[in-house]
């Protein structure tokens, strides 16, 4: 059982099993891509061995999201060559995708699902009641796979998503209102039906042209490289956005339909772009996918909304160009969002955090700040790539020289250090707010025993001289 499900539903599940006189042993596993490995499989089979499970009559029951279902499925297929198992998916992605097919697997050697098997569960029990406690981001994550089915198989499902996106998100498809109930049920049913129709005649993937692989050509590499920043469905969404552009440039989908797709992705709170989508990553991903599909690309591309075609002649230039178009398409919303676009005042700002490598220049002999995340605007934030979280290890120094010419503030969150403004030294402690003018170059040193962490906020045109202190534009100050 997924550790989070155990915390939320453990008591009820124990009560149910006890009142039905079941002899059982519980194995609680963490659900994360990092823990989706052979070690978790071995922990589980160790438990099966000590329990002395009967290989014919006593099923293993996997209860959790896609990660736990994949781990439990692989352990079941390995244990005594095969032991029956039951899937109880609890996440939306589990309900419509991981819980539906016969694939199992774990990550290995930096590759997604590199070790796995085809092993059908005896039963899959789908109960959308679990979704009531699923985190918002994971609801969107599951909706990405549903959107995938709609784009290549089911135009009516796309219409349903388009018409009810906000209701589906707000009610988590559990059906708190009559309309939400009917739509949630219908959306899950159509998504599962679409999956079944595609998978059933090709369970062992003898035919490698699979529509359900849409969004899964570039995403496996992107997802693993971006870990843990991108969830599975989010990586799939970026892949679908990229291949929708490729399809548009090949005349397979019209510009208005492409706009509908992108608009729906945004409304479902799915990303359409990730900064790791550079030439190298995309070329590597294309090679990996071609190898995985037996030497041919076999990339599904959308044809309009609701249909697909397979192509094996994508060039690197074509993919790189599509990525550039995608980045530029994403820019206007990132560069110039208005508060009125994001739900008005008083609403929380939701952002994506991207890892962009090291911070600024490093003085001789000093160690670089070891993390530097850009919290980029995803159309819900009011500034573009302007909030960054940085962390400097003990003994290290760096130059805080944020790109661009906007004024900055940085707020010390943890640790102890020193800021050098020219010859002048200022202590840095949690709670300090540093004001930096557009041209200022600040040397930051960590004197403490712990990491020195700060949040940097950059204001693109939001501050004017009346609220921006004169001395700040000259160099900076500490408050």
Ligand X SMILES: NC(=O)c1ccc[n+]([C@@H]2O[C@H](COP(=O)([O-])OP(=O)(O)OC[C@H]3O[C@@H](n4cnc5c(N)ncnc54)[C@H](O)[C@@H]3O)[C@@H](O)[C@H]2O)c1
Q: Which residues are known catalytic residues?
A: 103
- Laid out side by side, the sheet with 85-89 consists of 60-64, 85-89, 123-124
Residues contacting ligand X: total by CB under 6 A: 28
Q: Which position has the token pair 């990730």?
A: 274
Token reading at 124 = 């899959």
Among 76, 77, 83, 91, binds ligand X (CB under 6 A): 91
Q: Is 2 in the site for ligand X (CB under 6 A)?
A: yes
Please tell me whether residue 119 binds ligand X under the rule CB under 6 A: no
Instruction: Answer yes or no whether residue 216 interacts with ligand X by CB under 6 A.
Output: no
Residue 348 three-state SS: coil
Contact yes or no for 339/380 (Cβ under 8 A): no
Q: List Cα–Cα distances, 241 to 83, 93, 403, in angstroms.
A: 40, 19, 28
Cα separation, 320 vs 326, whole angstroms: 10
Indicate whether 171 belongs to the interface with ligand X (CB under 6 A). no
Q: Which of 1, 68, 286, 314 is close enough to bind ligand X by CB under 6 A? A: 68
Using CA of residue 462, residue 345, residue 339, residue 402, what is the dihedral sign?
Answer: positive
**Options 40, 45, 62, 70; binder of ligand X; rule CB under 6 A:** 70
- Our CB check for ligand X shows the closer of 5 and 60 to be 5
Burial of 446-455, coded b for 16+ CB within 10 Å and e otherwise, reads bebeebbbbb
**Minimum distance of ligand X from residue 315's CB (angstroms):** 28
Q: DSSP readout, 76-136? A: HHHGGG---EEEEE-SHHIIIIITTSSEEEEEETTEEEEEEEE---SEE---GGGGGGS-H
Which is closer to ligand X, CB of 198 or CB of 385? Answer: 198
- Tokens 């599975």 sit on residue: 232
Taking the C-alpha atoms of residue 69 and residue 77, their distance in angstroms, rounded to an integer, is 12
Which one, 112 or 258, has the nearer CB to ligand X? Answer: 112
The CA distance from 148 to 325, in Å, is: 21
By CB under 6 A, residue 8 contacts ligand X: yes
Segment near ligand X (CB under 6 A); pick from 87-95, 167-175, 360-368, 440-448: 87-95
For position 94 contacting ligand X by CB under 6 A, the verdict is yes
Instruction: 428-433: list long-range contacts, CB under 8 Å, 24+ apart.
Output: 428/452, 428/454, 428/478, 432/478, 432/479, 433/409, 433/478, 433/479
Q: Quote the tokens at residue 202.
A: 């090709």
Q: Does 90 contact ligand X by CB under 6 A?
A: yes
Binding mask of the shown chain, residues 350 to 369, with x at each position contacting ligand X by CB under 6 A: --------------------
Q: Which of residues 95-114 bind ligand X (CB under 6 A)?
A: 97-98, 101, 103, 113
Smallest distance from ligand X to CB 285, Å: 16
Is 131 or 245 the residue whose CB approaches ligand X more closely?
Answer: 131
Window of 12-20, 29-37, 450-458, 468-476 that interacts with ligand X by CB under 6 A = 29-37
Other C-beta atoms lying within 10 Å of the C-beta of residue 249: 14
**Contact between 264 and ligand X per CB under 6 A:** no
Scanning 65-73, 249-257, 296-304, 362-370 for contacts with ligand X by CB under 6 A, the matching segment is 65-73
141 binds ligand X (CB under 6 A): yes
**Residue 4 is a binding residue for ligand X (CB under 6 A):** yes
Give the Cα separation of 304 and 313 in Å (integer).
20
Nearer to ligand X, 5 or 322 (CB): 5
Q: Name the residue with the smallest CB distance to ligand X.
A: 66
- Is residue 410 at the binding interface for ligand X, with CB under 6 A as the rule? no
User: Considering the rule CB under 6 A, would residue 67 count as an interface residue with ligand X?
Assistant: yes
Based on the shown chain and the rule CB under 6 A, indicate whether residue 65 belongs to the binding site for ligand X: yes
Nearest-angstrom CA–CA distance, 237 and 232: 9
Of 12-20, 45-53, 58-66, 450-458, the window that binds ligand X (rule: CB under 6 A) is 58-66
List all residues 6 or more positions away from 455 whose beta carbon is below 8 Å from its beta carbon: 387, 388, 389, 390, 410, 411, 413
- Residues 222-241 as x/- pattern, contact with ligand X by CB under 6 A: ----------x---------
Strand partners, 63: 88
298-317 residues in contact with ligand X (CB under 6 A) are: none
Q: What tokens does 91 get?
A: 């996440």
> In angstroms, rounded to a whole number, what is the distance separating the alpha carbons of residues 358 and 362?
9
CB closer to ligand X, 72 vs 241: 72
Beta bridge partners of 352: 376
Q: Are 390 and 357 in contact (CB under 8 A)?
A: no
Q: Is 36 in the site for ligand X (CB under 6 A)?
A: yes
289: number of Cβ within 10 Å? 21
State yes or no: residue 117 binds ligand X (CB under 6 A). Answer: no
**Among the listed residues 78, 134, 261, 314, the single contact to ligand X using CB under 6 A:** 134
Is 138 a residue that touches ligand X (CB under 6 A)?
yes
Closer of 70 and 451 to ligand X (Cβ): 70
Q: Which listed residue (37, 43, 133, 167) binds ligand X by CB under 6 A? A: 133
**386 touching ligand X, by CB under 6 A:** no
Q: Which residues bind ligand X (CB under 6 A)?
A: 2, 4-5, 8, 31, 33, 36, 64-68, 70, 90-91, 93-94, 97-98, 101, 103, 113, 130, 133-134, 138, 141, 232
């Amino acid at each position: 059982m997924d550790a989070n499900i155990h915390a939320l539903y453990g008591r009820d599940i124990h009560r149910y099993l006890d009142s039905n006189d079941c002899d059982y042993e519980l194995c609680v596993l963490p659900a994360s891509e990092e823990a989706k490995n052979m070690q978790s499989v071995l922990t589980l089979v160790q438990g099966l061995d000590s329990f002395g499970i009967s290989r014919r009559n006593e099923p293993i029951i996997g209860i959790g999201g896609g990660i736990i279902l994949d781990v439990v499925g692989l352990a079941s297929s390995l244990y005594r060559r095969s032991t029956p198992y039951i899937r109880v998916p609890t996440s939306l992605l589990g309900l419509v995708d991981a819980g539906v097919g016969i694939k199992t697997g774990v990550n290995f050697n930096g590759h997604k699902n590199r070790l796995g098997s085809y092993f059908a569960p005896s039963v899959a029990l789908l109960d959308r009641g679990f979704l009531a406690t699923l985190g918002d981001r994971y609801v969107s994550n599951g909706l990405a796979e549903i959107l995938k089915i709609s784009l290549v198989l089911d135009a009516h499902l796309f219409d349903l998503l388009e018409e009810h996106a906000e209701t589906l998100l707000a009610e988590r498809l559990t059906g708190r209102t009559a309309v939400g109930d009917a739509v949630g049920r219908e959306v899950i049913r159509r998504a599962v039906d679409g999956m079944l129709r595609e998978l059933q005649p090709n369970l062992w993937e003898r035919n490698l042209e699979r529509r359900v692989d849409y969004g899964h050509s570039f995403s496996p590499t992107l997802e693993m490289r971006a870990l843990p920043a991108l969830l599975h469905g989010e990586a799939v969404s970026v892949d679908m956005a990229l291949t929708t552009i490729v399809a548009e440039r090949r005349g397979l989908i019209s510009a208005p339909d492409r706009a509908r797709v992108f608009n729906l992705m945004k409304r479902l709170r799915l990303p359409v772009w990730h900064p790791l989508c550079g030439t190298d990553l995309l070329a590597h991903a294309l090679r990996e996918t071609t190898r995985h599909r037996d030497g041919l690309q076999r990339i599904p591309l959308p044809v309009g909304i609701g249909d697909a075609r397979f192509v094996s002649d994508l060039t690197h230039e074509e993919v790189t160009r599509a990525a550039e178009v995608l980045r530029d398409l994403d820019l206007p919303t990132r560069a110039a969002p208005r508060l009125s676009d994001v739900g008005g005042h008083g609403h929380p700002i939701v952002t994506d955090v991207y890892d962009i490598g090291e911070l600024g220049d490093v003085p001789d002999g000093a160690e670089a700040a070891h993390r530097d995340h850009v919290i980029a605007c995803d159309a819900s934030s009011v500034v573009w790539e302007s909030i960054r979280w940085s962390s400097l290890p003990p003994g290290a120094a760096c130059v805080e020289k944020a790109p661009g010419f906007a004024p900055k503030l940085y707020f010390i969150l943890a640790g102890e250090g020193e800021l050098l403004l020219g010859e002048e030294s200022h202590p840095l402690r949690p709670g300090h707010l540093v004001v930096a003018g557009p041209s200022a170059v600040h040397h930051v040193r960590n004197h403490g025993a712990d990491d020195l962490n700060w949040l940097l906020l950059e204001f693109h045109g939001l501050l004017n001289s009346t609220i921006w202190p004169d001395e700040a534009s000259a160099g900076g100050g500490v408050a």
